[in-house]
Every structure is written in structure tokens, then in C-alpha cells.
């Protein structure tokens, strides 16, 4: 019996006769166990403690700095009880945009419509500010993370638009008499 066990070990080590190896030795090594998902509170704690790089490699143009100066900052209340905070960072033109357990380091991006657009290209997020509202979108997920967010100035514009709606571009202009 000792000779068979020794022959099996030698054959296994040499790879000469794998059919002689016991089933346990012939199996491939086990994969490591999958990492368990973190609880939401643990995800938030990790997100809050993860540093965001202080010196990005993106250099802002004069036009982008002008857009950054025009943006609304502070905490903004959104629909469905959500809120978004836009806080300027040390480097001019860069902002920390936070909501729930998400943080984005954003900078201005070109916008053909005249809207203020901040982007975090690494994390795939975009903050869009219009005259009457703002929204946070995830380009990776293809969905809005927060909508109908308003600073006090945006709320005033929204109220003005509600009380004095602009003329519809789809209806004919009134005739001059």
C-alpha cells in the first residue's frame, strides 16, 4: 500500500500519470471566496473617508473659470427629499458635489446651450444648472441622481416663470395692432 501511495505522489509531482492521482489532488485550486457586499452605512463611511485628489491634471481655460464663477453653490433642496451640496474646492473652478453617499470632484465643461455644466469625467457624473433648476446625472448609469434642485436664486426664477410664463415657441406670435 505504501508503494501505491508513493507512486501516486511521484506521478502527480511529475505529471506523468494524472489518472493515478487522488481526486482531491487532481482538482484545480479553489477560487477565493467572493467579497461580500458592504452594508449601505459601511459604503457611506468608506466614501466619506476616501480622499479626492487635490491637484487634478485638468487646466481650466479663462472661459471655464468664468462659468465656474457663475455657478450656484451651497446646499440645494431637490425633489423627493433629496439634497445636493456644491462646495468650492481650494483650486479655483473646482467643486465638490455631494449627495447621499456620493461625492464628485467637478470642473466646468463647455456647454453649447449656455447652461452651467460641471463634470467629473473619472466617475462619470454631470451637474447641470439652468436658470430655474439644477440636476445631477450619472452618465455611467444613464439616470438622474437628483432633479429639481434649487438654490434660492433659482427658486426665484422658477416662481417668476410660473407667475409670468414665457411665450411658447410653438404658438404663433400675437399680431401687432
With beta carbons less than 8 A apart as the criterion, state whether 92 and 68 touch.
yes
Q: Is 107 within a domain?
A: yes
The parent domain of residue 71 ranges over 60-163
Q: Using the Cα atoms of residue 119, residue 124, residue 127 and residue 130 in order, give the sign of their dihedral.
A: positive
Whole-model pTM over 0.85: no
CATH number of domain containing 123: 2.40.128
Distance CA 111, CA 129 (A): 11
Q: Is 3 within a domain?
A: no
Distance CA 88, CA 84 (A): 13
How far lies 152's CA from each of 134, 138, 155, 159, 176, in Å?
A: 12, 24, 5, 11, 37
112-128, pLDDT tens digit by residue? 888 999 999 889 999 99
How much is the mean pLDDT over the chain? Answer: 77
151: left (phi over 0), alpha (psi -120 to 50) or beta: beta
Q: Is 174 within a domain?
A: no
Residue 25: its pLDDT value, please? Answer: 45
Q: Is 96 within a domain?
A: yes
- Looking at the DSSP assignment, which residues form a beta bridge with residue 107? 119
Q: Using the Cα atoms of residue 129, residue 135, residue 136 and residue 137 in order, give the sign of their dihedral.
A: negative
Q: Please, which pLDDT band fits residue 24 given cuts at 50, 70 and 90?
A: very low
Q: Is 26 within a domain?
A: no
Residue 169: its pLDDT value, please? Answer: 83
Q: Is 127 within a domain?
A: yes
Distance CA 146, CA 86 (A): 13
Burial of 67 from C-beta contacts in 10 A (0-12 / 13-18 / 19+): buried
Q: Is 133 within a domain?
A: yes
Distance CA 127, CA 139 (A): 11
pLDDT at 41 over 80: no
Helices (H), 32-132: 40-49, 62-70
Q: Is 149 within a domain?
A: yes
User: Structural domain tally of the chain?
Assistant: 1
86-112, pLDDT tens digit by residue? 999 988 889 999 998 899 999 998 888
Amino acid at each position: 500500500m505504501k508503494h501505491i501511495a508513493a507512486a501516486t505522489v511521484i506521478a502527480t509531482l511529475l505529471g506523468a500519470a494524472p489518472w493515478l492521482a487522488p481526486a482531491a489532488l487532481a482538482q484545480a485550486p479553489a477560487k477565493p471566496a467572493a467579497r461580500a457586499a458592504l452594508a449601505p452605512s459601511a459604503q457611506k463611511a468608506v466614501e466619506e473617508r476616501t480622499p479626492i485628489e487635490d491637484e487634478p491634471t485638468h487646466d481650466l481655460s479663462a472661459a471655464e473659470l468664468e462659468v465656474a464663477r457663475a455657478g450656484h453653490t451651497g446646499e440645494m433642496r431637490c425633489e423627493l427629499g433629496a439634497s445636493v451640496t456644491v462646495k468650492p474646492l481650494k483650486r479655483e473652478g473646482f467643486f465638490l458635489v455631494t449627495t447621499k453617499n456620493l461625492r464628485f470632484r467637478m470642473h466646468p465643461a463647455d456647454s453649447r446651450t449656455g447652461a452651467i455644466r460641471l463634470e467629473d469625467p473619472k466617475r462619470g457624473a454631470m451637474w447641470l444648472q439652468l436658470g430655474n433648476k439644477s440636476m445631477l446625472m450619472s452618465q455611467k448609469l444613464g439616470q438622474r441622481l437628483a432633479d429639481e434642485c434649487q438654490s434660492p436664486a433659482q427658486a426665484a426664477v422658477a416662481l417668476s416663470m410660473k407667475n409670468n410664463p414665457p411665450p411658447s415657441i410653438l404658438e404663433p406670435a400675437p399680431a401687432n395692432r
